[in-house]
Structure 1
Amino acid sequence: MSPIITGLITIAVAVAGCAAYFYASNWVVDRVIFPPRTDDQGRNIRRATKIRPWLFIFPAAFFLSIYLIYPVVGSFWRSLFNRSGQEFIGLGNYVQMFSEEGFRVAFFNNILWVIFVPAASTFLGLLVAQLTDRLKWGNVAKSLIFMPMAISFVGASLIWKFVYANDPDIGIINAVRDTFGMEPVDVLQIPFWNNFFIMFILVWIQTGFAMVILSAALRGIPEETIEAAIIDGANPFQIFFKIKIPQILPTILVVWTTITILVLKVFDIVYAMTGGNFDTEILPSYMMDYMFRDDGRATAVAFVIMIVVTPVMIWNIVQARREMR
């Protein structure tokens, strides 16, 4: 059967199934559970009205439970078994993982990513948003800065691999060094600092995202507060740091935590740049090292990543809800 016909049949069956479910569930509520009776009709209608929203969200909640909660529980259970998945070893994978030097290096590098990338991206995005709003060609500048967001992480890594190349004829850094008579150097092999060269790729990509969100927040600041500060004699720096920043602080925090969640899931940039070599391993790439060799260890690393991401994600949701009030 043609894939197009199969897709159309699937859509038709899904739509018909949803319509049948909602019709049947409403009929059960209105006719069976709370049937219309003359003596208590108003009370039954109120009860049915309270239950009806749960009927609408039940399918989504059910499938979310299957596709989200079940894999989490299943992954944790799988992490309690050995490599073959036949022997139950409890927390053995976690004990062995925390005792390895490679895991500690990956965890330390992840901390560096979480500290540096969100801070740099948010700061540069806020700086660009403030400066471009004062320029006539600000929209052109914003478009150029936002453009890296359209590039995949692997594509961006390949671009910056040429920038970091140790050949002076290709790499910009070594071209500058060659101008001053310095020897070429492979920046991706410099211990510790090579992590920051890789991090800058994500900063380059995410600055555009931060700029767009923060630019909208800056434009939403009431002009009255700025005019009042100018009348009181405030200089541009005081207006920016004491008037604008406090008013958009919730938006800054949301941007910060959103980028933080992305950072904790980044894998492809490190894999494309160094493959995790030269002490640039992070938790996702460390997990991939064991994915095809030791499934129990890989799922243990995945569960650790989930534990680290979850508090940041919850905090981000809380901040977003406060922003919407």
Structure 2
Amino acid sequence: MDIVNEISKSIIKASTCLSDDKLKALKKAIDLETNENASWCLSQILENYKVAENTGFPLCDDTGIPHAIIEIGENRQITGGLLNQIHEGIALGLDNLPARPMAVKGDEIERIEQSKGLYENPGMLKPASILLDTINDESTYKRDISPDTLNIHFLLEGGGPEIRAKTFRVYHQRSFDNVIGTAIDWLGESLKMLGCTPSIPSIGIGRTHFEATALMLKSIVYGNLDNQSEIEQFVTSKLNETGIGPLGFGGKTTVLGSYVNIGNQRASGVRIVSVRPSCFVEPRVATLKL
């Protein structure tokens, strides 16, 4: 197997195709929507999906920041060579897509200030740090990972949802309702400003900011709209009550579903909560099985 080329194909697939469960959820929302403007908007979003898949064009001009999660069993190994291949394959995929050039030139300060401009080559956009997932991970989305598993999940995370995302502490007051209610309030406010609804918001609840964000990212990979937990259904219901609707036009469909991933907790008065209000072209995910 040419791993670099297969990774490139995965990046292109993540950018141009959506999962069956999301397409099914969107079609269901169109059937149930009674607001004329919202119904029209949802139909246009569905058409956008079809055009992207049929032409191989990206679902959105914001082609996203690549992330990778490696799902590994106890009999498999990760080498430095494989990690290099992941980086090479992502760069090749961004070039072949082609993605929007977004990599900023310069040293630390110049990159922050964006004073040197951008690289023209899309593949210069480096992925975020790679996450690992093993059978020892404890969370809502705990995986039954076989010993011979080696899967690489690729996510493309757009800038709009990152602007509206939040990771912060919540004083739990020994109340789950307080914690999840706070997360819903954050998402309600962010969805008003996101613009690109309907969303599939993601929530991670952990012990540290890193852990909560990692849990949130894993929920995007493993979450499924065909199999929503009671908590996820509750989050979806409360956010749809906001009436924001697709692209802010109002109606029943502010979100198509939600992902909630709860990990280990520590003896403390706080829980760290990470929320991300994905835009309507997300989640953009593809998986390579090695």
| TM-score normalised by length of structure 1 | 0.25
| TM-score normalised by length of structure 2 | 0.27
Rg comparison, structure with higher value: 1
Question: Higher relative contact order by CA 8 Å / sep ≥ 6: 1 or 2?
Answer: 2
Going by fraction, where is helix more abundant, 1 or 2?
1
